[in-house]
Chains A and B, each alone.
Chain A
């Protein structure tokens, strides 16, 4: 069974450009989470969905960030416009259900904003 799939794996862009990160959760998993990891702040939860519905977006840093989950097998995280301080590794993770404990992470997207 394939794990969580993320694309692209690496993204280098210039300040002001729009960035779209993509995630495909494990088939049958109903809960999806977006995280950001930096050396300074560690792993931070940005937003999570349950059954394609956003449940908690309190971790989204500002209006430049938006996330969607149009169906059970696809989610996007968009940054527009991007800034150098957005440089980080962005992870997507999924769980079979919110109340189930084990969470599986994708390989991450390493974003560099110049």
Chain B
């Protein structure tokens, strides 16, 4: 089983739609979780951290379910500019190291 798994997509959604991505992780000792965004032929950039209580940043909401070992990202009122690949990231410091493990990403295309 992969350490971090994501549905590769693509998710094709119309502008204004709500879309949700899930990501599962295998190591129950994982401590920190993030969503990164990567535009085509660019570097990944931090979108948001994922806290145990869930967190919201504008149109974006991230949630963590430790019992089921998954994190989610919800995007409301999708914009064309949201088209990108969204990478789920788990920080493995729980194992005494500080390695980020990246999922392979979920592609989102927002259509006009």
Contact = CB atoms under 8 A, between A and B. Distances in A.
A43 B44 contact: yes
Interface residues of A, number: 22
Contacts of B93: 98-99
Chain A interface SS verdict (over half): strand
Contacts of A27: none
Interface in B73-112: 87, 91, 93, 97-105
Contacts of B104: 41-43
Nearest to A38: B104
Given A42-B104, A43-B87, A106-B43, A101 B34 contact: yes
A81 B23 CA distance: 37
Interface of B is mostly: strand
B45 interface: yes
A103 B87 contact: no
Contacts of B45: 105
Contact of B43 (A98, A99, A108): A108
B100 A103 contact: yes
B60 to A, nearest CB: 16
